[in-house]
Amino acid sequence: MDPQLFGFQYCPKEHRMLLDALASELQLVATAQFDPLREVTAVTHDSRVAGPGTAFVAVPGFHHDGMKFVPDAVARGTNVVVCAQLPAEFLPDVTYIVVPDVRIALALMARILNGKPDEQLRMYGITGTNGKTSTAYFLSSILRHAKRRVGVMGTIGFDLDGKIIETPNTTPEAPILHDLLRTAVEGGTEDVIMEVSSHSLQLERVAGMSFDVAMFTNLTEDHLELHGTMEAYFDAKRRLFEHAAAGYSIVDVGGEWGARAAGLIEATGARVVRVGCPGDAVDVRPENIATDLDGTTFDLVTSSGTVPVRLRALGGYHVRNALLAAAAAMTQGYALETIAEGLGEAEPVPGRLERVLNEDGLDVFIDYAHTTDALHSCLEAVRALSDAPITLVFGVLGDRIPRLRREMGTVAAAGADHIILTEDDLKAGSFEEVVADVAPALDEAGVAWERIDNRWDAIAAGIERARQGDIVIIAGKGHEKQLILADGQGAIHLDEMAAAKEAIAGRDPRVLDPREECEKSRHKLIS
């Protein structure tokens, strides 16, 4: 087994179980060469990490049918195969088990073989298009303030009390997920906060798990390449709440989809906490929001009382995320004062309207906005802070459909005074295609813009041309440290905080007008 296959050290631990006992937890359609006394120590969906004692689950993937990797798994020592249908010929000494849904079987087996770690932890699950990481961040600050030992799994990996274990996905495949949760249990973790992606719900990575609290941030267009329609995307997200039927569901009802989700969950008899906007008739809402460059204050108004909160994070969207975190903590019995103190202790969320501190009098922010709604929220949040001209350095993911690329352009043009269009992760697309879709939206809006392909140069140019008091927003990559090139070309290291600081340090002190500069270089290819 190559433990580096997943891009991180994945070494499944050994947990012994007789096949008979394991199979009794699955729905069996058929078996062949069944040996009930066979010992199973681990399960995997990837033949490359199979070994003696590992059951191999043949998953029909987007590119390959896992059945074609059965011989590879068997060659590495596997003697139990779980599949969707029996093959025409059986390999000698291999037990075959047919189940109705292999992905569900994979998740159930991984959970059982790891001792159902979710049952030994207080589990908080967060789903939604935007705000999952930030909400997790706020909630972890509250729980840590209450002296709980907390793990946070999501876009940034698995943070176990400050030690980050890299993960291949936001919500990893079940064998990795349960292995990590078991590690957390063994290390004394009490609470785990998990970002639960729509991919993971659709692909049954969390099947069988139970959550004490499930949270819904919002839903806007994203990931339709997998889900097809917004209805299907919504339906995938909504499934998280089936895993919290006995717990609490916290829903931001500020948007159309949230309100719908809350209604549907309530109809199942589950307990729902509605989080909303100032003035709303909901269970948890903010009042008296005030924000400046040092942070955001608001009153947290709940059915159990009101408490003032001060966040070090900037921007209105963080109020929504903090409210969800507060509501989640309330369901678990934490006092409002503890919640307010915990939120107050939260460091600014890395890459989510994160300020690049400097002595040049520039307000430079890094934000992870890479969807239209996120970009809108980001620009709106910054506009609420200041009337100064905004230079926006941004790109669009190459695998976004043309309509979404255009919409990103429209949102950018509506919120910024000067735009530098640059590369973001390209993956299946090319930057030429991105520019072809975004440029007409920028031109139509009449905003001053230019194209600088190289993202470092774009950041440097945005900062170089800014005058004292101006605002520069670098949107798209946030905390991430790499830029993914077009398919097959790999990725390159990119630390936007470092790039911005370097640009500020080397900045020409001459005062330049970004709009004049832009007129001069309009549509000019710089890189």
Ligand X SMILES: Nc1ncnc2c1ncn2[C@@H]1O[C@H](COP(=O)(O)OP(=O)(O)OP(=O)(O)O)[C@@H](O)[C@H]1O
Q: Is residue 73 at the binding interface for ligand X, with CB under 6 A as the rule?
A: no
| β-bridge partners, 427 | 486
Residue type, 70: V
131 marked among binding-site residues: yes
Question: Among 131, 409, 415, 476, which residue interacts with ligand X (rule: CB under 6 A)?
Answer: 131
Question: Among 38, 45, 418, 451, which residue interacts with ligand UAG (rule: CB under 6 A)?
Answer: 45
As given in the structure block, the two tokens for residue 266 are 């309530």
Q: Which does 62 bind (CB under 5 to 8 A by kind): ligand X, ligand UAG, none?
A: ligand UAG
Q: Which does 173 bind (CB under 5 to 8 A by kind): ligand UAG, ligand X, none?
A: ligand UAG
Nearest-CA neighbor of 138 among 315, 270, 259?
A: 315
By beta-carbon proximity to ligand X, the closer residue of 121 and 314 is: 314
Q: Is residue 368 at the binding interface for ligand X, with CB under 6 A as the rule?
A: yes
170 marked among binding-site residues: yes
By beta-carbon proximity to ligand UAG, the closer residue of 242 and 513 is: 242
Enter the DSSP assignment of 301.
E
DSSP strand pairing (80-83 vs 54-57): parallel
Q: Is residue 205 at the binding interface for ligand X, with CB under 6 A as the rule?
A: no
Distances (CA, A) of 241 to 137, 152, 234, 524: 21, 19, 12, 50
Which part of the chain contacts ligand X (CB under 6 A), choosing from 79-87, 100-108, 317-325, 384-392? 317-325
Binding to ligand X (CB under 6 A): which residues in 154-173? 155
Q: Is residue 372 at the binding interface for ligand X, with CB under 6 A as the rule?
A: no
Q: Indicate left, alpha or beta for 19 from its phi (over 0: left) and psi (-120 to 50: alpha).
A: alpha
Which part of the chain contacts ligand X (CB under 6 A), choosing from 6-14, 131-139, 176-184, 260-268? 131-139
Distance CA 44, CA 57 (A): 6
Distance CA 226, CA 206 (A): 17
303 marked among binding-site residues: no
Q: Which does 124 bind (CB under 5 to 8 A by kind): ligand X, ligand UAG, none?
A: none
For tokens 């994160």, the residue is 354
Q: Is residue 320 at the binding interface for ligand X, with CB under 6 A as the rule?
A: yes
Q: Is residue 291 at the binding interface for ligand UAG, with CB under 6 A as the rule?
A: no
For tokens 């007008």, the residue is 513
As given in the structure block, the two tokens for residue 116 are 């159902």
Q: Is residue 199 at the binding interface for ligand UAG, with CB under 6 A as the rule?
A: yes
Q: Which does 130 bind (CB under 5 to 8 A by kind): ligand X, ligand UAG, none?
A: ligand X
Are residues 377 and 169 in contact, defined by beta-carbon separation less than 8 angstroms? no
CA torsion, points 385, 387, 393, 395, in degrees to nearest 10? 80
Residues that bind ligand X (CB under 6 A): 128, 130-134, 155, 195, 217-218, 317, 320-321, 352, 367-369, 373-374, 377-378, 478
